[in-house]
Amino acid sequence: MRLNASTQVGDVACTMKMSPLRRGLHGVTGQVRSRELRLGRLLGREELVGNASFSARVDGMLGKGIADGNVVGDVSLLELNGYRYDSLRFDGRLRNREFDGRISARDANLDFDFFGTVDLNDSVPRYDF
């Protein structure tokens, strides 16, 4: 599947391959990327979040109520509070609304390495890092 979508919040390009696995589960591999996506508008938080540009590779599975896969990518632009961050990388497992892996930043004003889990599945988020 190839998708190039233009929306009111920006453009997204996606190349994915799906294959049946078992009982309603499908394997998914591919890449998704976007330039200058108006993320704040999409999230309804334009006062805090601006544009984002990113690229990611996905290798996992999808099914009814299940999304589980490895994601590797980079964020070349993320606007937060009026500042344009760059040089962010991520590599980990995304399972429903939980990320377990590594995020690193090498921006002039943001330099860190995160190793751990962010779980947004419950009403109170859980972090372990």
Summarize pLDDT for 47-85 with one digit per residue, the tens: 899 999 999 999 999 998 889 999 999 999 999 999 999
Please, what is the average pLDDT of the chain? Answer: 93
Tokens linked to 75: 């964020």
Given CA atoms 50, 53, 56, 61 in this order, what sign does their dihedral have? positive
Tell me the C-alpha distance between 106 and 102, whole Å: 13
SS3 of residue 108 by DSSP: coil
Q: Is the pLDDT of residue 90 over 90?
A: yes
Share of residues in the chain with pLDDT > 90 (%): 74
pLDDT band at 94 (very low <50, low <70, confident <90, very high): very high
pTM summary value: 0.80
Beta-bridged to residue 16, according to DSSP, are: 30
